[in-house]
Structure 1
């Protein structure tokens, strides 16, 4: 069985054990000289309801399951959940802190061709997707997680978010840095918008506070 690795972004993991990401990136030359071509995975996942989530391709070390798959122009998007076992919980924490930095698919080659020194994978039989320490492919990326969607849903329902939850939403949902998110939340609270009562759109109130804030508050400069 061959292996092909992809980068893992820990933003994709929440405390409930949900994980979502691009497990196979199409059209990108990895550091091992392989390119997964669009459609290479299609036949393999057509009748699959789940794919094992392993640790380091070790069949004796399952840590969860991938149970939703969809092909995009970028590659194979997968969603899964860590097992509620000690091994699953440890793998989740290792991924969150960056110790497990990649996804790696275990596969057999069905069809291939060479273009110069690059091997184009035209069709592969996918067996499992593992968490690994080192990733070889720079294109695969993990998408926004259930945590962000949950926070947005709570806002839409008129729920109140804590200061930490606002920072999480801004960092993970809008790609703000830690310092940018912290400054934005401070401005939001200063304007009296940090405790929505459900009578107004809290996100609209938030951005209104941003627009009316002095530039030094937004930049952190005096």
Structure 2
């Protein structure tokens, strides 16, 4: 399966990690992103709808969490800045925006379990809610 255009700058990582509570006491459960599609999902800068820096080209659940591949927008100043910060190790966090379809409270542990989610966006962030949600690689030629 070809998931990126030749010569494109892309990044891969985990936007969510299963079964690990985030800083807000939410925990994403395996299956929450069942059937997720990357088509139409933007890659944003710090959750800013006014600051898109690319788009998802692949998203799927694996044993660890929601693994994504995103293509950074060519000739975009914001995407070039994001790539430079990732390369420098100054930024590696990922986060996601979502709509809850199904969740339940685990009152004994003080958690909200997210069981079925609609993925709305993925963002490069400085401080991810889920500390393990990170960029794991930046690949391709930068033509920006």
Q: Which residue of structure 1 aligns with residue 71 of structure 2? A: 81
2:87 matches 1:96: yes
Residue 58 of structure 2 corresponds to 68
CA contact (8 A) 2:93 2:133 kept: no
Which 5+ residue runs of structure 2 have no aligned equivalent? 1-6
**What's 1:41 paired with?**
33
State the partner residue of 2:118. 125
Q: Where is the helix percentage greater, Structure 1 or Structure 2?
A: 1
Alignment of 1:1-222 (within 5 A): 17-43=9-35, 45-46=36-37, 48-84=38-74, 85-116=76-107, 117-143=110-136, 146=139
* Higher normalized strand content (fraction of residues): 2
- CA offset at residue 99 of structure 1? 3.4
**If the length of structure 2 is used for normalisation, what is the TM-score?**
0.80
Moved over 6 A (4+): none
Q: How many residues get paired? A: 131
CA distance in 1, matches of 2:122, 2:50: 14
Q: Which has the higher contact order (CA 8 A, sep 6+)?
A: 2
Question: CA 1:131 to 1:142, structure 2 compared with 1: closer, same or farther past 3 Å?
Answer: closer
> TM-score, normalized by length of structure 1?
0.54
Unaligned runs of 5+ in 1: 1-14, 148-222
Query: Aligned with 2:80: secondary structure?
Result: helix
Once the two structures are TM-superposed, the CA of residue 141 in structure 1 deviates from its matched residue by 4.2
* Structure number with bigger Rg: 1
